[in-house]
Chains A and B, each alone.
Chain A
Amino acid sequence: MQTPEQASLLETTATLTVKIIGVGNAADALLGALATPEFAAAQFISVNSDAAALAASSATVKINLENKLLRGLGTGGDPERGQALAEEHFSTLKAACEGAKVVFILAGLGGGAGSGISPVLAKAAREAGALVLAFVTLPFECEGNRREAQAQAALAQLKAAADGVICLPSQKIFKLINEHTGIVETFKFSGGFLLEGVRGVWQLLTRPGLIQVHFDDLRQLLHERHAENAFAFVEAAGAGRAREAVEKIIAHPLLDEGRVLAESDAVLVSLIAGKDLTMAEVNRVMEQVRRQCAHAQIIMGAAVDAALKEKLCVTIIAARQSAAPTNLSPRTETRSPATTTTVHREPAASRPVTKRRSGGSKAIQTQLPLSIISKGRFDKSEPTKHNGEDLDIPTFIRRGVPLN
């Protein structure tokens, strides 16, 4: 099935051993969808505590986290049980990750297996010497508070353990579905988005780039910026494909109609197209993206893949710095040549920092302005806004000039 070009491409991939590990029931389905020739170079591993579900999985390697107490049943939606199981089988997990340079972890957070196992797995993979990138979904709001809380807790743990986390809150999918969309379709949809993200990153890392994006770049982008990542993967074909791609990016629901781009402070853009990719097209896309995210540091990559024929694929990963300040500059530790070729381990000192920051990641919700600053006589008039600043509020208050 493989074209010669593809084979040669995959050869370059071979130097980068990638393992894609699905954790829990939700991810099993995704692994099945990923098993295409495109990902032939990757090894699929499925990790689950539910023996029945595992048996149905299409992954090449299956790891059953068994425990006599569970009698082959699942974790019962309890992440603590999942975590205990994973820690019990820590050495198995670590052995499974041995030899990989990059490990992708796919999981649906909120349940027992996904939330409990994936943080431990991330840790195991790191100890095995791999760079860990996690793709996770958060549950729908209607799934209840408990799952939401479990998912958030797991996300925080995962952020501390993995090198990068890309997270898709399922609730955002609601914008894309209508009254009549079936529940199966909806889950397929949210899984599809996650897959697009995996595919985008995969292509980014494995295609020989004209303007290469290395894993360091990606890591640098995601690292220390876990707070909220958004990704979008769009495809366009035909004559006006650059323009079409830009339009799709701007209208992408996961980017909140481009609002995410405007707020993000680091953006990775990767363009992949057939041999006819022109510089003008790259320029057109980048120009628009740059205009959308004026404040962001932009990392770009471009690659040619003959198999794509006349399609143009654009992957965007946008990251926003969380509110908590950090002393650890991401620049200082990445970019060392060692990161791509050898084991990269987080210095122990940086762990607590990451953990503290992940605590702050929940504070995305806007705060009510409890200390109301009176605008005096301008209270009822139309506010004078300038670059988002309300000029009616006294200058000395906005500048924080103390009067004493």
Chain B
Amino acid sequence: MFDDGNIIAGLEIGTSKICVVVGELTADGGLNIIGLGQSPSQGVRKGEITDPQKVEENLRTAMFEAEQMADVEIRSVYLGVSGGHIRGFNNRGVHPVVSADREISPDDVDDVLKNAKAINLPAENTVIHAVRQHFFIDGQDGVTNPIGMLGARLEVDMHVIHGHANRLQNAIRLVKATSLEVEEIVFTGLASALALLTNEQKELGALVIDIGGGTTEYVVFADGVIRHSGVIAVGGDHVSNDLAYGLKVPLSRAEKLKLEHGSALVAESAKGQSISITNDLGLELKRVNVEHLQRISSLRLEEIFRLIAQDLDAAGLTDYLRAGVFLCGGSSRVPGLVPLAENVFQMNVAPGHATAISGLTTALDQPEFAAAIGLVKYGSLKNRKRAERPFLKGFLGRLLQRT
């Protein structure tokens, strides 16, 4: 019924929902989304698993749904990981070219990449991604493929994303417990960026912000490579929690109020307005001021953007974002978020669409699926390389692995 190599599944265990997306590689190398499954997530806080049993239960439901829809059996997944412990930074590796003719050999490239990966991480951390950015030959910038060029000193810039090994392992173990294989773990922020950005946008420079339930991931692409990444363990859950505290309503009610009346900006029309909260029988329990509701959520969302803006400012990347800012994740559905982000970042902001993939349009248009779709895309890129590798004999194939 199916060819194992052509089916790619992405799994994201999020704070508010677990979502599975199934993609199929077409004969011409394209990618088609053929199925998706989701279920509300109960055992996850701030992107990290707190109750494995509940998560496993929810995971099975989502898997079943996706398998039904795509009519395939999923054996392995690309697993998205997130959480406040994940950090990204840039590192430079240096390697002197020692051969007599000064020609850079594949071994030199391997060595410089190895050097760039040799970084001082805390003992309990492990590298999730090490993505090369650009090579430098004797200080000359912007070399993408140095093999065969002449030089005395080869350098490479690498973006390294790392996280707490045990916490990452928790998610992997859980997935394996449901008799699924984990092909690779992928930082969800990177996955979202892959789903949303076209090659031109990556080249121009873009910021992707994935505001989820418990965490907000952000990734900067510029000059076609990943330049910056980060996670803030704050998301939509915090908005609900703030509302529950500020309006003095139960959390479940706050969640509902957020979905119905939440806004990233305080609307002029909300001033002085109030809504009544009724119980099951329609009796009024309490009146809630809409202006307060919107102010509380607006302050929280603005703070998230400000923290990201500060971080990018500190990294000196603000001027590189010529394509603008793209928003995705469940919380990006909040009305008024785009103008709020425009206000904070002072640049073009657009809600992201998973444009780079074809298939189920219902799935592609929904911002909360961006990460899972990106996982499938990541998988397809890896698969394509794997297919090319025997053909290109090893290292050359690896050289093309530019994600």
Contacts and interface: CB of A to CB of B under 8 A. Distances in A.
B242 A374 contact: no
A382 B233 CA distance: 10
Contact of B295 (A392, A397, A401): A401
Nearest to A392: B238
Contact of A394 (B48, B237, B300): B300
A84 interface: no
B299 A401 contact: yes
Contacts of A395: 242, 296, 299-300, 302-303
12 contacts: A374-B245, A376-B241, A381-B50, A382-B48, A386-B232, A392-B238, A394-B296, A394-B300, A395-B296, A395-B300, A395-B303, A401-B295
A377 B251 contact: yes
A162 to B, nearest CB: 42
A391 B295 contact: no
Interface in B218-262: 232-234, 237-238, 241-242, 244-246, 251
A382 B85 CA distance: 11
Interface of B: 45-46, 48, 50, 84, 232-234, 237-238, 241-242, 244-246, 251, 289, 292, 295-296, 299-300, 302-303, 307
A376 B247 CA distance: 13
B292 A382 contact: no
B295 A384 contact: no
Contacts of A386: 232, 307
A399 to B, nearest CB: 6
Given A401-B299, A403-B246, A377 B241 contact: yes
A61 B39 CA distance: 88
Given A394-B245, A403-B246, A403-B295, A384 B300 contact: no
Contact of B241 (A378, A382, A401, A403): A378
Given A378-B46, A394-B238, 18 more contacts: A373-B245, A374-B245, A381-B46, A382-B233, A384-B84, A384-B232, A386-B232, A386-B307, A394-B300, A395-B242, A395-B299, A396-B295, A396-B299, A396-B300, A397-B245, A397-B246, A399-B299, A403-B246
B84 A382 contact: yes
Contacts of A375: 241
A112 to B, nearest CB: 54
Contacts of A392: 238, 241
A394 B246 contact: yes
User: Which of B232, B238, B300 has the most C-beta atoms of chain A within 10 angstroms of its own C-beta?
Assistant: B238
Contacts of B303: 391, 395
A395 to B, nearest CB: 4
A18 to B, nearest CB: 47
A373 B246 CA distance: 11
Contacts, number: 66
A378 B45 contact: yes
A397 B247 CA distance: 12
A382 B46 contact: yes
Main SS class of interface, B: helix
Interface residues of A, number: 19
A338 B238 CA distance: 58
Contacts of B50: 381
Nearest to B85: A382
A381 B241 CA distance: 13
A374 B242 CA distance: 10
Nearest to B50: A381
A391 B232 contact: yes
Would you list the 5 A-B pairs with minimal beta carbon distance, nearest first? A394-B242, A384-B233, A376-B241, A395-B299, A395-B300
A396 B307 contact: no
A391 B232 CA distance: 9
Contacts of A401: 295, 299
A391 B238 contact: yes
A80 B244 CA distance: 58
Given A394-B300, A395-B303, A401-B295, A376 B46 contact: no
A377 B299 contact: no
Contacts of B295: 396, 401, 403
Nearest to A398: B303
A401 to B, nearest CB: 6
A401 B234 CA distance: 20
Nearest to B311: A386
A373 B233 CA distance: 19
A382 B83 CA distance: 11
Contacts of B233: 382, 384, 391
Contact of A384 (B234, B245, B296): B234
Contacts of B302: 395
A36 B289 CA distance: 75
Interface in A360-404: 373-378, 381-382, 384, 386, 391-392, 394-397, 399, 401, 403
User: Which of B45, B237, B245, B307 has the most C-beta atoms of chain A within 10 angstroms of its own C-beta?
Assistant: B245
B262 to A, nearest CB: 14
A401 B244 CA distance: 16
Contacts of B234: 384, 391
Contact of A396 (B46, B232, B237, B242): B242
A67 B400 CA distance: 95
Contacts of A382: 46, 48, 84, 233
Nearest to A384: B233
Contacts of A394: 238, 241-242, 245-246, 296, 300
A192 B300 CA distance: 53
A373 B242 CA distance: 11
Contacts of A396: 242, 246, 295-296, 299-300
Contacts of B242: 394-396
Interface in A236-286: none
B209 to A, nearest CB: 16
B139 to A, nearest CB: 25
A329 B303 CA distance: 33
A384 B46 contact: yes
Contacts of B289: 403
A386 B303 CA distance: 11
Contacts of B244: 376
A379 B188 CA distance: 25
A399 B245 CA distance: 15
A394 B244 CA distance: 10
B398 to A, nearest CB: 38
A376 B245 contact: yes
A388 to B, nearest CB: 13
Nearest to A391: B234
A374 B303 CA distance: 19
B292 A403 contact: yes
B313 to A, nearest CB: 14
Contacts of B241: 375-378, 392, 394
User: Which of A378, A381, A394, A397 has the most C-beta atoms of chain B within 10 angstroms of its own C-beta?
Assistant: A394
Contacts of B292: 403
Contacts of A377: 45, 237, 241, 251
Nearest to B306: A395
